[in-house]
Amino acid sequence: MLTVSVKWQKELLKAVEIDTSQPPYVFKCQLYDLTGVPPERQKIMVKGGLLKDDADWSTVGLKQGQKLMMMGTADEVVKAPEKGPVFMEDLPEEEQVVSLGHSAGLFNLGNTCYMNSTVQCLHSVPELKSSLVKYSHSGRNNDVDQTSHMLTIATRDLFGELDKSVKPVAPMQFWTLLRKKYPQFGQLHNGVFMQQDAEECWTQLLYTLSQSLRSAGSSENLDTVKDLFGIDLASRIHCQESGEETSETESVYSLKCHISQEVNHLHEGLKHALKSELEKASPALGRSAIYLKESRINGLPRYLTIQFVRFFWKRESNQKAKILRKVDYPLELDVYDLCSDELRKQLEGPRQILRDEEGKKLGLKANEKSSSSKDDVKMIDGEGSSNASGESTVTTSQEGVPSDKETRLTGIYDLVAVLTHKGRSADSGHYVAWVKQESGKWIEFDDDNPIPQREEDIVKLSGGGDWHMAYICMYKARTVLM
């Protein structure tokens, strides 16, 4: 064992012991403890040059009491934090919401899971929330009755509470006004409020909001809800017996997925639902005849809602029975082949651009025809609102100056919410919302209990048993800026 002194900067470290049975690296670790200079930064001058980590002490030629010179800068001293650790429960509620990454749950007020799950799904649409925020107490136009106006106010306030709270919210005011506007949701059985159909709640609430949020006297965005959820259908109605043919158009807020023995996938169910037979009077035949109605999508929404037609009226039991058949649905849905020829032509350009953009991400060469003239096209998640033709309003740049580019729909959609039902009847069982957050994470909202879920488990809610199965799916449009 040798004892040396080490000169480092203005300090002289006296009586530093060296265990010559250990490599020099151990000595450097001793000096690190004394000076804070990491071994890799230490330059120790010895006979013949610098002391190496694995040098042989016998060849270094150190003597008892020898003075060594060391160069090197110490690690920065870690400062004590100005503030101590802050626990999440000590943060303001708004910051707790951000930390959690999802909004609050809703208390079940007595068989109100149908309502809670509907609210959680619609609450996930930022454009709807933005429109509601702008709606004021005095904003009612003459076409809206007082009850609809108050229900819209309650929806706005409830959405605001969900965004600000980490603790479950009791939607008492909203529920009271929902029952006042739609008395069927206030049905009692043995003094207890009955379970209701979530799809009916979804439809009625959207109808109310569509009336309230319509901009009276405005030349643009006349109906916010239609811009966000409205689907335009063009139908051909043909009678094979008489040869008569007519056409009609209609606007709906959801597509239906019919379920039969032939349907195993959502896309098949949608195709079945766009074809139907109906019996009506034939002017040419002077009697009733069978007509075939074939529909095509002629205008796409920003958010595509699909209802799985799982319930039917069973005469024997005098109640709505449930079809338990498994019907798979995708995370990404392409409805191009369900569109009219006119709409397909409008979608071709945006779809090519989307393919080129996704190809670039994969390192593929873009289609020369489309990329040569549209180099500055960007793919976006879709803010703003689309019109019936599948185009959208003019966008605004970050500086607030209107841009000459438009957000265009592609016919491709990404799954953002699933409302499921567990049980055998629409008027019993349990409803739950599964909602994709802005972070990309999925949260299961089981009334007042939000539970994180994996994306791969969301598509397993496809039915085939008594577990939760998809009843309503909501998809968000994948768009391009061009």
Q: Please provide the distance, in angstroms rounded to a whole number, between the alpha carbons at the two ends of the chain.
A: 77
Instruction: Give the whole-angstrom CA distance, residue 381 versus residue 479.
Output: 6
3-class SS of residue 382: coil
DSSP H/E element including 13: strand 11-18
Q: Pick the catalytic residue from 238, 265, 272, 430.
A: 430
DSSP 49-70: EEPPTT--HHHHT--TT-EEEE
Instruction: Give the whole-angstrom CA distance, residue 111 versus residue 388.
Output: 37
Instruction: Give the whole-angstrom CA distance, residue 385 versus residue 226.
Output: 9
Q: Which tokens go with 415?
A: 């799954």
By C-alpha distance, which of 458, 479, 452, 448 is closest to 416? 458
| 113 is an active site residue | yes
| CB-based contact 433:116 (threshold 8 Å) | yes
Q: Pick the catalytic residue from 102, 113, 121, 257.
A: 113
| CB-based contact 406:394 (threshold 8 Å) | yes
At CB < 8 A and 24+ separation, what contacts does 456-459 make? 458/331, 458/415, 458/418, 458/434, 459/328, 459/329, 459/330, 459/331, 459/415
> Could you tell me how far CA 163 lies from the centroid of its own chain?
15
| Residue 101 CB burial class (10 angstroms; 0-12, 13-18, ≥19) | middle
DSSP 390-416: S-BPEEE-TTSPEEEEEEEEEEEEEEE
Instruction: Give the whole-angstrom CA distance, residue 147 versus residue 150.
Output: 5
Helix pair 146-164, 93-100: axis angle to 10 deg: 80
Instruction: Give the whole-angstrom CA distance, residue 267 versus residue 198.
Output: 22
Phi, psi of 322 (to 5 degrees): -120, 135
Residue 178 neighbours by CB under 8 Å, 6+ apart: 115, 151, 154, 185, 201, 205
Residue type, 122: L
User: Active-site residue numbers?
Assistant: 113, 430
